[in-house]
């Protein structure tokens, strides 16, 4: 994604200011390095694996960890509409892809008001609907 943004992206999707780009990079890296493992445990054990192979304990532990991590995102989104700042940008895309599954999986999740508003803004976008909002199974 970094290559595509560097090659074809323009403001506001990709920031030309190094400080703003670093902020977007931080959220891209956070989503893939920090959230991916517990999210994978939830996704596999709530949706992907056949029901007889699912492990409820692993799923529940993943939900707890994801909820804790997403609470940090919620706190950031309390002060700005997008992880990338005032407009949707590169930093929102990786988490945005996982957010669809997080909000659509048949699991109990905590209420995170700012994260939910951010997600609502994403699902209003036609490109998000076409590219991300596909079947979970």
- ∠ at Cα 126 (121, 127), nearest 5°? 100
pLDDT over 70, % of the chain: 100
Q: Which domains does the chain have, with CATH numbers?
A: 2-131 (1.20.1050.10)
pLDDT tens, 70-96?
999 999 999 999 998 888 999 999 999
Average pLDDT of span 101-105: 97
Question: Which tens digit of pLDDT belongs to each residue from 42-77?
Answer: 999 999 999 999 999 999 999 999 999 999 999 999
Are 91 and 28 in contact by the 8 Å Cβ rule? The answer is yes
Q: What is the pLDDT of residue 5?
A: 75
Its pTM stands at 0.90
């Amino acid at each position: 994604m970094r290559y595509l943004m560097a090659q074809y992206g323009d403001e506001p999707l990709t920031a030309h200011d190094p400080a703003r780009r670093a902020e977007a990079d931080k959220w891209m890296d956070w989503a893939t390095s920090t959230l991916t493992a517990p999210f994978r445990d939830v996704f596999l054990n709530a949706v992907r694996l056949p029901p007889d192979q699912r492990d409820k304990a692993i799923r529940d532990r993943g939900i707890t960890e994801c909820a804790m991590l997403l609470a940090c995102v919620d706190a950031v989104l309390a002060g700005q509409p997008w992880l990338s700042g005032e407009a949707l940008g590169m930093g929102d895309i990786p988490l945005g892809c996982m957010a669809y599954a997080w909000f659509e999986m048949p699991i109990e999740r905590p209420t995170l008001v700012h994260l939910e508003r951010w997600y609502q803004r994403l699902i209003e976008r036609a490109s998000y609907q076409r590219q991300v909002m596909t079947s979970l199974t």
